[in-house]
Structure 1
Amino acid sequence: MRGTLIALGVFCWLATARLIVAAVNSSPGYWVLAIAAAYGGFALIQRSMRPEYRHVPPPQSTRDWDTYLAPKPAKPATPKPVSAQVRVDEVEPPVFPVTAAAAPLLATSPQFTPSTERQKGPVVRDDITAAVEAAPANVQAKLGSSGRDALKLLDEHLPQHERVHHIISAGVEPLRTVENCALVVTDLRLLFINPLPQVVAWDLTQIANVHASLGFQVTTRGGDKTHLGISGDGNHTFVSHLQVAMAIATLRATA
């Protein structure tokens, strides 16, 4: 499937070149068709880069499972000497201490289990847990595996007064995305968390434009642009939430 998408994208680009030549030599109306063909080629190439179209080879194990799972011969029982044997009526029954009833186990997600000790779980803050659980299932899986270190960095060092509202898995490269990072919307900032560790932060009131076409791009009011990778699942919903947060932050700052 990935090869088919790439072939179609290359075909669109070849058609773009022919249409540009036709537009220069004959009619300017061919420019519209050339732009449409070029955009279609870019869209097909971007779609072919999605993780679901990549071939992931199965993990190779070096363990000889046939030998490992083969039944092992039972060892013959060695009888104890008569002097070491103990009569049943001579053994005192064990005494178990009386303790309080154990608390029932909570059915929580194995990836995002809140804990009072930071060493026992990647996420402690309830706002981060809620934001992760509100994300699509594919995003949750990536945040719980390759993005685990980014969540831990966010959880341990984000100030308590700054609350997390939305989160999505992200990467450094816009197209060939290894989603081991996280994009986070708080009530004050947009954060890009890289487990290097590296953090890039934008004040919500200083962001001029954001969009999720061919990756994720942030443009500040000063004209600076940053192009990152973002999950293809829920990316447009994340951008919509971010735009709402930008508007709210601007209203509060100008009150």
Structure 2
Amino acid sequence: MGINYTRPTPAQSASAFPSQPAVPAPPAQPGPWPGRTDIDAAVAACPPDVRQELAGPCAQALTLLRDHLPAAAEEVRHLCGGAVTWMDSPINSVFALTSRRLLFVAPAPQVLTFDLTTVESTQHTTKIFHRTADGSKYQLGISPTHGGHFERETSLAVAVAKLAHG
């Protein structure tokens, strides 16, 4: 049961003239991963600082997601760096919004998963992602620069899921 919503793809450009001055290398980013173009696209859609987090301290959690989330079952739509707690915890985990679930993957390994139709509310405040589902409330750390965007995309996906499935 997939949710049908889309996001714009990032504009990409490259110089066709080798005689132009050297351009600094883009920040490191994870991937590409054969067979996981959805994750590649979600990483590419993130701002540079979040791509650096995903390639660095979040790499273990992102690899766990990539290696064990069945590509045929659900598509990764958005990614964001996260933390197990919001108070003084390093960003080393991954929030993933898929075609049917909200996932939080920590390197412990630990995974929290929420079907989009069960999410009652989401909210982002500075470095905290608040989520309520099935009567339970969670507060997890989230990238301060990309958390607001990720929360808005999550809210949209939840609304679409509820309209489509329940």
Paired with 2:70 and 2:30, the residues of 1 have a C-alpha distance of 20
Same amino acid, percent of matched pairs: 36
Corresponding letter in the other structure for 1:126: T
Give the match for residue 8 of structure 2: none
Paired with 1:109 and 1:174, the residues of 2 have a C-alpha distance of 25
What aligned pairs does 1:232-247 form with structure 2 within 5 A after superposition?
232-247=144-159
Counterpart among 61, 69, 84 of residue 158 in structure 1: 69
Contact residue 91 and residue 142 of structure 2 kept, 8 A: yes
Q: 1:115 Cα deviation (Å)?
A: 4.7
Give the match for residue 42 of structure 2: 131
Contact residue 83 and residue 90 of structure 2 kept, 8 A: yes
1:188 aligns to 2:100 (yes or no)? yes
Q: 1:249 Cα deviation (Å)?
A: 1.1
Q: 1:134 Cα deviation (Å)?
A: 0.6
TM-score between the two structures when normalised by the length of structure 1: 0.52
TM-score between the two structures when normalised by the length of structure 2: 0.78
Larger RCO (alpha carbons 8 Å, 6+ apart):
2
1:231 aligns to 2:143 (yes or no)? yes
More strand by share: 2
What aligned pairs does 1:96-115 form with structure 2 within 5 A after superposition?
110-115=28-33
Compared CA separation, residues 245 and 143, structure 1 to 2 (3 A): same
Q: 1:241 Cα deviation (Å)?
A: 0.5
Q: 1:252 Cα deviation (Å)?
A: 1.9
**RMSD between aligned residues:** 1.8
1:207 aligns to 2:119 (yes or no)? yes
Corresponding letter in the other structure for 1:144: A
Corresponding letter in the other structure for 1:159: P
Give the match for residue 20 of structure 2: none
Runs of 5+ consecutive residues of structure 1 not aligned to the other structure:
1-106, 117-123
Q: 1:223 Cα deviation (Å)?
A: 1.9
More helix by share: 1
Paired with 1:200 and 1:113, the residues of 2 have a C-alpha distance of 23
Give the match for residue 216 of structure 1: 129
Runs of 5+ consecutive residues of structure 2 not aligned to the other structure:
1-24
Counterpart among 154, 162, 166 of residue 250 in structure 1: 162
SS class of match (2:78): strand
Give the match for residue 89 of structure 1: none
Counterpart among 31, 54, 73 of residue 143 in structure 1: 54
Give the match for residue 15 of structure 1: none
Compared CA separation, residues 113 and 189, structure 1 to 2 (3 A): closer
Q: 1:133 Cα deviation (Å)?
A: 1.0
